[in-house]
Amino acid sequence: MTPKLKISRFVLKRMEKIKQQCSGCLFGLMYDGALLIMGFNIESTIGELNYKEIQYKFPAELDMCGVIKFGDVGDGDAEVNINQISHDVDFTDNPIMLTCALGTLVDLKAQIIMHGKLEEIPYEEVTEEELYRDFCFTRLQCGLKFLTDERDTKTISRDMQSMRKNLACGSLAFYFEDADKYITTSGLDGSLSSKTVADLLSSINNPSGETKQKSKNKNTPPPTEYEIINVKALTRKTRDLQEKSSSALQMTLKQNEEKVIIPLQVDVMAMLYKKTTLGNVYNILIESICRSLRLLEQSLVDLVSHEKNLSVPRILHINVPEFGHLLSCVYFDDFSEEDPYFQQKRKKLHHHFGLPTTRPYFRKANRFVFKNELVDAPLINTHIGLKPTGLKESQQYIVQGKYSYYHYKQQNFDDSGWGCAYRSLQTLCSWFRWQGYIDRPIPTHEEIQKYLVRVGDKPKDFIGSKKWIGSIEVQTCLKGLLDVDSRILNVQSGRDLATKGSELAMHFQSQGTPIMIGGGVLAHTIIGVDFSPLTGDIKFLILDPHYTDRDDLSIIQGKGWCGWKGPEFWDKNAYYNLCMPQRPYIY
């Protein structure tokens, strides 16, 4: 039976951005009688096929499932790719072929390979909300000790294969931390069960077990992210685990003086359809570990092949906003990101996925930060969920990516009445950290003051004081502490701010960074505008750093500490300076 074809909206948006003739591989998963396309790469016209370098970076369950062509790619080249790639497609007998014009989805054609021939089929678009509603991810972590020869790539591959075989023999159990449940080859908590991933999520979200009536409120906001289930791997004392007190997995092969022991921190994602039965999840988790070990093997072999000393590898999950899923990459503790070898690897990844090299995507700072790692951290993207402005014939121009909302009295530091510009600067710095431009901590008030004294901008008694700073000092700190340039926009009065809609819209389109605004009055952060070029009407999306209460989103949005403000918000008799950070060109 021919499966239904579905394509993620993330994929369709990426396809529209490809402006040169090329071809690549499709990656997706099967669920409920449908094949869902979740990603693609760009293949090189010469040399080794790119998909062999990146296929293990995808979450488990996302596998190669076909070919994509952009523009007028020659049939001869496409035929070679189909033959080569189709041979490696192993989870479906009917690979997919997508053909797309450059820069547009008009006339996008989907075909399925049936009995060696191409047959055109329809496709459905899957929205972000549908993905977040119907799918989730597992994050599996465990520690291994890998014994191998540090200079022999063949030995590394052989030893890693042996480790994978040992792990796949049924000796593992998996513990779901948040649900306090474990799964073995016999099913959930030692018994075969028809329970699904959705049931597991329900027990995590509702640990008391009380039945909650589903809300029928049409105003309930749609989900904005995937749910993530944390999993630990455990060794089993017997084939049928009867106790949860098993130690965290640690494996060591026989000692040999000529070999080295490399600690491996397996950290791997798997994408799950929520109706998947837990009986099938065990095998998916085993495949997750094996995929992670293949990725580690690939990275270690490549490191040694380039005459680099072996180092402890670390898997980080990279959040590329355009993808709609995480991508796992290996980094090494002993090497700088500025090492030419790693710079070249990052550049290749940009090319593999058709991403521009004008911004970072695969630096360590681009790693995804999981919720359980955000301890006492400021709220993120507090504007999400705000009601529309009500302006007609307008368009919203919003900060791109993530930021953290910094305000008075955070980090157990009382800066009420004087620290608003410091907090706005911290919000700006957080944006550059979230987007991967920097990997340093957010500067404190003391660090900001010390830097301004060091560069001669302030006297020594400025350190430890409660003196204000303004837009120019924010610009100075961004350059000195982050190496980020900023543009200063001078506005003579609050009334004139309403005439700057086009400039602000262009800033959020081209740069996408938050704007610190100060001058003769208190500082604020502008994170967007709703602007109508036809009428000149404008509203400003404001983050107010003067908030002093706890980090409660309902209060912050309900009381207007993060919200849309009209031109009357600004003081008509005060001047303003806007510090508008510019993105550095790095990758």
Residues present in the chain in total = 587
DSSP E strand boundaries for 178-334: 181-184, 187-188, 227-235, 260-273, 313-319, 326-332
Tokens of 294: 């293949």
Give the amino acid at 156: I
Strand-strand pairing, 96-100 and 63-70: parallel
Tokens of 385: 């969920």
Tell me the DSSP string of 355-413. --TTS-SSSGGGBPPPGGG-SSPPPB-TTTTPPP---SS-EEEE--S--B---TTGGG-
C-alpha 62, offset from chain centre: 16
Is 65 a catalytic site residue? no
List 22, 65, 136, 420, catalytic entry = 420
For residue 518, count CB atoms less than 10 angstroms from its CB and return exposed for 0-12, middle for 13-18, buried for 19 or more.
buried
Provide φ and ψ at 17, rounded to 5°.
-90, -10
List 63, 544, 562, 579, catalytic entry = 544
Q: How far apart are CA 284 and CA 183, in angstroms?
A: 12
Tokens of 453: 């004294």
Cβ contacts of 384 within 8 Å, gap of 6 or more: 224
Cβ contacts of 155 within 8 Å, gap of 6 or more: 148, 149
Q: How far apart are CA 570 and CA 565, in angstroms?
A: 9
Q: How far apart are CA 390 and CA 383, in angstroms?
A: 16
Tell me the DSSP string of 33-70. TEEEEEEE----SSSS-THHHHGGGSPBT-EEEEEEEE
Complete edge-to-edge strand list for the sheet that includes strand 313-319? 187-188, 181-184, 172-176, 227-235, 135-148, 260-273, 313-319, 326-332
Q: How far is CA 7 from CA 13, 39, 82, 296, in A?
A: 11, 9, 20, 30
Tokens of 179: 């649900």
Give the amino acid at 193: S
Is 429 a catalytic site residue? no
Is 334 a catalytic site residue? no
**Catalytic positions, written as ranges:** 420, 544, 546
